[in-house]
Structure 1
Amino acid sequence: MNLKFTGLNIDVTDALKDYISTKLARITRHVDNVISVVVTLSVEKLNQKAEIDLHLSGKDLHVESVDTDMYAAIDSLMDKLDRAVLKHKEKSTNHRATPTGQMAAQSE
């Protein structure tokens, strides 16, 4: 997994990188085919903005969050990303496949 940090009007410190990396570990538990992650942190006057581009095999997810505190923006960003990854995972499963127990019951 490639992980890239970008800061616009902000220096991305090692503490921020470590914090984001530990939060991303929760996301990678749900899905194992993460190709690359681009995290962009920016400051616009009083707003702290965090964006993430997650490149999965077959899907690109873009999520962003704005808050007055950078760590709060990162927390809400990871919550949104977690929901988006779980939604993608549910959509990608084959809902038309029937379990073998149901086919055996129908043939009797």
Structure 2
Amino acid sequence: MNLQTLTERAANSEVRELELLSLEGGFYLARIRLDQGQFTLLDDAAKPMHLRSITHLRDLLQTVPAFPCVLVQQCVHDEMCGRDSGPVEELRIPFSLTAPL
């Protein structure tokens, strides 16, 4: 999904959530959830858009109608130290496109 499509879907209140995925290497990818499935935000070359921060995302989407957003980080500490039982859950932190984290 490109930025224009995201803007159109947000204007029609179709965006259920945006997940900003924190990845190794210090960059982020945006994954948009609609009723029809999940889509990665793509750049002009139709490749996954690499974002630098929440602030970068906010700057990019400043003219897009607001929708729920969440920062998603893997809990590598649990993976490194081991865990007694159960799956290792990701850390999910809600944030706003308009207010600082």
Normalised to the residue count of structure 2, the TM-score between the two structures is 0.31
Normalised to the residue count of structure 1, the TM-score between the two structures is 0.29
Higher relative contact order (CA 8 A, sep 6+): 2
- Answer 1 or 2: which has greater helix percent: 1
- Answer 1 or 2: which has greater strand percent: 1
Which structure would you say has the larger Rg? Answer: 1
